[in-house]
């Protein structure tokens, strides 16, 4: 079978045949037919805007791989910092590389005192932590004179290190501010996830880091580290294509993630479960969703038309956490919702399955995080994916500044009318 596609412009009879590689053909074919021809593709449903070697996703089969490694294996055998190294560098680290990487990240966790005392203290007392995280990420770049030096590999590496190392510190700082609690400095003797939990929850000397909970946190970080060209990552790439510094680009990506249809869904799931209240109310809720009165949050995905593999792993992990913390009372409602939806033709025919956000909120809540922190918990590990895509884009000679075309539907040319004649 020929691996080509032939496109005929019926207006002119002109035709062009181009190769299909990796399931894609180059849009140069359309320009060859007619340079003014546009493909109308809102939300990029059929458009591959880049080549990428970072994450592979097969939504029909429910497959997710980072740099070729199945997410299930990484979740079981790896840890977040090793996965971060893999995403950024393409290979798992050797012993020596791992040691250096951990040392470097650990020694970049501090943030400038002015960030906390002057910048964060300026927020209103009830500011949403995700709004604070977005702003603090952009502000962080202003503390480094080399932030904009993205051409030098060493400099970009340093900004990457800073953003990955400082994201948990910023996140914890935003939380402590909103709770009126004193800031806890990073502790270099703890690993990435334990240090984050310590900065979040330590009150005086009274916080023991439970290894089961730290492992669950680390696992959630692994599962959220990258997910190819989602809305936030696409935002990162678009902003990076203008050669904005990585702090500004990451702040833009985090803003996209904040949306309830994207990373904000984990927060929305808990509000939904609380609103449903008990399993008896599940059928009525499902009937409302089917009648178009709201969505079943944590269900459905642009790419997965099968169970999201991350949701499978998270669901299992939830039980380990609940053994330590006690069961989250909303779990029964979530299980009943899932069971009901997966038997219902509305969800089955549309291939709507639980996504990563359906069960993650239940674990976050059991770990002690307030609902407003959930999207921040998504942003911390996703910082790694964003930065891997940022670097990949800069190295890709096919890329230029992003600039989609439009289909103009406004009025044609007309003359200005003076205000007294309108």
Q: Is 300 in the site for ligand CMC (CB under 6 A)?
A: yes
How far is 175 from 164, CA to CA, in rounded Å?
A: 18
Nearer to ligand CMC, 169 or 355 (CB): 355
Could you say whether residue 369 binds ligand CMC (CB under 6 A)?
A: no
Angle between helices 246-258 and 153-179 (to 10 degrees): 40
Which residues touch 330 (CB under 8 Å, ≥6 apart)? 270, 273, 274, 362, 365
Q: Which of 174, 297, 333, 376 binds ligand CMC (CB under 6 A)?
A: 297
Is residue 361 within the footprint of ligand CMC (CB under 6 A)?
Answer: no
124 included as an active-site residue:
no
Nearer to ligand CMC, 64 or 132 (CB): 64
Q: Which stretch binds ligand CMC (CB under 6 A): 58-66, 187-195, 277-285, 299-307?
A: 299-307
Cα–Cα distance measured from residue 217 to residue 92, given in angstroms and rounded to the nearest whole number: 21
Q: Is residue 262 within the footprint of ligand CMC (CB under 6 A)? A: yes
The dihedral over CA atoms of 16, 20, 26, 32, expressed in degrees to the nearest 10, equals: -10
Q: d(Cα 218, Cα 213) in Å, to the nearest integer?
A: 9
- Give least dist CB 212 to ligand CMC, A: 25
Q: Clarify whether 60 is annotated catalytic.
A: no
316 binds ligand CMC (CB under 6 A): no
Q: Which of 380, 412, 342 is nearest to 80 (CA)?
A: 380
Question: Is 301 a residue of the active site?
Answer: yes
> What is the distance between the alpha carbons of residues 284 and 276, in angstroms, rounded to a whole number?
9
Long-range contacts, 398-401 (Cβ 8 Å, 24+): 398/50, 398/51, 399/50, 399/241, 400/241, 401/241, 401/242, 401/243
Candidates 129, 141, 263, 309: give the one binding ligand CMC (CB under 6 A).
263
Out of 65, 158, 295, 327, name the contact with ligand CMC by CB under 6 A: 295
> Site residues for ligand CMC, window 201-230 (CB under 6 A)?
230
Rounded distance between C-alpha atoms, residue 321 and residue 189, angstroms: 24
Q: Take residue 18 and report the two structure tokens written for it.
A: 């181009």
Q: Which of 296, 337, 363, 366 binds ligand CMC (CB under 6 A)?
A: 296
Q: Closest CB to ligand CMC among 214 and 360?
A: 360
Looking at the Cβ atoms of 172 and 297, the one nearer to ligand CMC is 297
Q: Which stretch binds ligand CMC (CB under 6 A): 199-207, 208-216, 349-357, 400-408?
A: 349-357
Catalytic residue among 218, 245, 308, 357: 357
Q: How far is CA 125 from CA 19, 26, 129, 174, 375, in A?
A: 58, 51, 10, 10, 19
Give the whole-angstrom CA distance, residue 103 versus residue 301. 37
Which of 230/384 has CB closer to ligand CMC? 230
| Catalytic residue (one of 262, 332, 344, 396) | 262
395 beta partners: none
Question: In the set 245, 357, 372, 392, which binds ligand CMC (CB under 6 A)?
Answer: 357
In angstroms, how far is CA 55 from the centroid of its own chain? 13
Q: Looking at the annotation, which residues are catalytic?
A: 262, 301, 357
Residues that bind ligand CMC (CB under 6 A): 230, 261-263, 265, 289, 295-302, 350, 352, 355-357
């Amino acid at each position: 079978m020929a691996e080509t596609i032939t496109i005929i412009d019926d207006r002119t009879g002109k035709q062009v045949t181009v190769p299909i590689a990796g399931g894609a053909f180059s849009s140069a074919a359309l320009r060859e037919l007619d340079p003014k021809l546009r493909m109308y593709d809102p939300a990029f449903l059929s458009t591959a805007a880049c080549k990428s070697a970072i994450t592979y996703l097969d939504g029909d089969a429910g497959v997710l791989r980072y740099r070729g490694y199945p997410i299930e294996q990484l979740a079981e055998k790896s840890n977040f910092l090793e996965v971060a190294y893999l995403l950024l560098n393409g290979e798992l680290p050797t012993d020596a590389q791992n040691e250096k990487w951990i040392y470097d990240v650990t020694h970049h966790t501090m943030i400038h005192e002015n960030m906390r005392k002057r910048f964060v203290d300026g927020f209103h007392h009830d500011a949403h932590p995700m709004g604070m995280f977005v702003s603090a990420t952009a502000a962080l770049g202003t503390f480094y004179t080399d932030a904009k030096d993205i051409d030098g590999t060493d400099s970009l590496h340093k900004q990457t290190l800073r953003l990955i190392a400082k994201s948990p510190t910023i996140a914890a700082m935003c939380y402590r501010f909103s709770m009126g609690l004193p800031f806890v400095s990073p502790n270099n003797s703890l690993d990435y996830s334990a240090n984050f939990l310590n900065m979040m929850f330590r009150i005086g000397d009274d916080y023991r880091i439970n290894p089961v909970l730290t492992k669950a946190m680390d696992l959630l970080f692994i599962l959220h580290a990258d997910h190819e060209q989602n809305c936030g990552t696409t935002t990162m790439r678009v902003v990076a294509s203008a050669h904005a510094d990585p702090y500004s680009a990451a702040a833009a990506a985090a803003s996209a993630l904040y949306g309830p249809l994207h990373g904000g869904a984990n927060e929305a799931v808990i509000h939904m479960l609380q609103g449903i209240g008990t399993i008896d109310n599940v059928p009525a809720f499902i009937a409302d969703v089917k009648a178009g009165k709201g969505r079943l949050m944590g269900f459905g995905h642009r790419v997965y038309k099968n169970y999201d593999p991350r949701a499978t792993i998270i669901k299992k992990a939830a039980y380990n956490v609940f053994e330590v913390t006690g069961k989250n009372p909303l779990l029964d409602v979530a299980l009943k919702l899932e069971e009901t939806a997966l038997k219902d033709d509305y969800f089955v025919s549309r291939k709507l399955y639980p996504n990563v956000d359906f069960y993650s909120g239940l674990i976050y809540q059991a770990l002690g995080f307030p609902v407003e922190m959930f999207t921040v918990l998504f942003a911390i590990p996703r910082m790694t994916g964003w930065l891997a895509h940022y670097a990949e884009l800069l190295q890709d000679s096919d890329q230029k500044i992003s600039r989609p075309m439009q289909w103009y539907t406004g009025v044609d040319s007309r003359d200005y009318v003076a205000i007294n004649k309108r």
